[in-house]
Copies of this chain bind each other. A is one copy, B any other.
Amino acid sequence: MTHDTVPVAHRELERGNGVALWRQIQAVLEHDLRSGYVAAGEKLPTERQLAQRFGVNRHTVRQALAELARKELIVVEQGRGAFARRDKLDYALARRVRFSENLLRQSRIPSERLLGSDKVQAGRRAAEALQVLPATMLLRLRTVGNADGRPLCCTTHYFPYGRFAGFAAVYGQLHSVTAAFRALGVADYVRTSTRITSRMPDAAEVRALGLARQTPVLVVESVNADGAGTPVEYGVCVWAADRIQFVIDAA
């Protein structure tokens, strides 16, 4: 390090003025975060770099970071670094639930991708949800939903095969459940049942959703019905819990 790059940042800190160094560091970083100088999701400098910049020990920086993490302004990941917290997306669970609309309302760019499709026999849950006999043939679709190009949820959809045999092909073109339904004559559909719980993801889900360690997933089982009240879709959707918050507002 040359002479003119010798840390000048000491001046940001004042020792022995009654405010602990880590508190002062926290305040500086908090300002950077709240002002947007550090964007949401952006990586902060490493602890070593911060320690050098402020001319203090790494422990002192760590105490400041711990406080910021406690206030949920950053998330710290071992081996990776500290990241400015990304706001959770508000996902409205109302009578009509539409992926694209929900994301656009939050100024996020939605996109969907088809992972694959096949024909399967209805299991107990699917049969009950779709009000068909067990072992009825169903079309199964696996899709991924993205927000701003980042994976947000993985869904397994089930449709009565008889009525929606062409769904996969149409979906492959339109990349939207809503649009595909419309193309197949279901102008409107409403949510009739929603079940929500949470668990830890398996390895495949960690990969598919790009989850950080120790991040749980929210699991949503849902049933949608057409205008006549006939179930048209049963779905199980796995959401990255650190990126989503479900909102139920009274009408």
A residues apposed to B, CB below 8 Å: 88, 90, 93, 95, 190-200, 214-218, 241-242, 244-250
* A250 interface neighbour in B190, B195, B216, B217, Cβ under 8 Å: B190
- Taking the nearest CB of chain B, how far is it from the CB of A245, in angstroms? 4
Which residues does chain B contribute within 8 Å of A248, judged by CB atoms?
93, 193-196, 248
- Do residues B218 and A199 form an inter-chain contact, with CB atoms below 8 A? no
Jot down 19 A-B pairs with beta carbons below 8 A, ordered by A: A88-B197, A90-B195, A93-B248, A95-B250, A192-B249, A194-B246, A195-B246, A195-B248, A196-B246, A197-B241, A197-B245, A197-B246, A198-B216, A198-B217, A199-B242, A200-B214, A200-B216, A218-B218, A248-B248
Which residues does chain B contribute within 8 Å of A90, judged by CB atoms?
195
- Do residues B218 and A250 form an inter-chain contact, with CB atoms below 8 A? no
4 nearest A-B pairs in the assembled complex, by CB-CB distance: A216-B216, A198-B241, A198-B198, A194-B248
Which residues does chain B contribute within 8 Å of A198, judged by CB atoms?
198, 216-218, 241
- Do residues A218 and B247 form an inter-chain contact, with CB atoms below 8 A? no
- Do residues B218 and A196 form an inter-chain contact, with CB atoms below 8 A? yes
- Taking the nearest CB of chain B, how far is it from the CB of A220, in angstroms? 9
Q: How far is the CA of A130 from the CA of B112 in the complex (A)?
A: 37
Which residues does chain B contribute within 8 Å of A95, judged by CB atoms?
250
Q: How far is the CA of A194 from the CA of B250 in the complex (A)?
A: 9
Which residues does chain B contribute within 8 Å of A190, judged by CB atoms?
250
With A198-B241, A199-B216 already in contact, 17 other A-B pairs whose C-beta atoms are closer than 8 Å: A88-B197, A90-B195, A95-B250, A191-B250, A193-B248, A193-B249, A194-B247, A194-B248, A195-B247, A196-B196, A196-B246, A197-B245, A198-B198, A198-B217, A198-B218, A216-B216, A218-B218
Q: How far is the CA of A241 from the CA of B93 in the complex (A)?
A: 19
Q: How far is the CA of A195 from the CA of B197 in the complex (A)?
A: 13
Q: How far is the CA of A247 from the CA of B246 in the complex (A)?
A: 13
Which residues does chain B contribute within 8 Å of A247, judged by CB atoms?
193-196
Which residues does chain B contribute within 8 Å of A241, judged by CB atoms?
197-199, 216
Q: How far is the CA of A194 from the CA of B249 in the complex (A)?
A: 6
- Taking the nearest CB of chain B, how far is it from the CB of A157, in angstroms? 19
